Amino acid sequence: MALVKLLALAFLLAVPISATDYTVGDASGWTLGVDYNNWVSGKTFQVGDRLVFTYGSTHTVDEVNQASYTSCSSSSPISSASDGNTTITLNTAGTHYFICATSGHCLQGMKVQIPVTGSAAGSPSGSPSTPSPPGAQSMGVSLTSYSMSSMVMAVSSVVVVALGLGC
Ligand SMILES: [Cu+2]
């Protein structure tokens, strides 16, 4: 069965994996008084990249939808963390919205929106998808499940081929 492992390894190496970790706000971290629009500008975020939030105990990281981002509402977050060091993997294409849930902080600018494009590996057409607010969330989910199922199929076919070769 050594050939199976070899082929599986070759397949894994052939998949481009280039996830990047971004520390939100760089050295300033996640806090008051940072212009996060300025921090985002010029950066390109892809599916699989990770956001690292570092912050003090008076802050939280809440992922919210666009409406809650706009109105600074933390009443129904998608996720919420307050451990001071939060890593969030950008699993779907589209815009991801984060706010601090501490009263008044979001209104004072502690909010950031991250436009995420599909990675080349995860996009069926091969071209990067541009984030579009309406339906972006569901598009990202379908992109992710597409790449998951195609990866499972590819691994299965490698195993089938290897078995067919008689190991
Ligand atoms: Cu805060």
pTM over 0.85: no
DSSP 8-state secondary structure symbol assigned to residue 15? S
37-62, pLDDT tens digit by residue? 999 999 999 999 999 999 999 999 99
Q: What is the pLDDT of residues 95-140, one digit of tens each?
A: 999 999 999 999 999 999 999 999 655 444 444 444 444 444 444 4
Whole-number Å distance between alpha carbons of 22 and 52: 6
DSSP three-state, residue 28: helix
Q: Ligand 1 centre and the CA of 6: distance in Å?
A: 49
CA of 12 to the centre of ligand 1 (A): 40
What's the rounded Cα separation, in Å, for the pair 86 and 98? 12
User: Which residue, 14, 32, 115, is CA-closest to 6?
Assistant: 14
Return the structure tokens found at 87: 């890593």
Domains of the chain: 18-140 (2.60.40.420)
Please give the distance, rounded to the nearest whole angstrom, from the Cα atom of residue 151 to the centre of ligand 1: 39
Question: Which pLDDT band holds residue 4 (cuts at 50, 70, 90)?
Answer: low
Helix (H) or strand (E) holding 8: helix 2-14
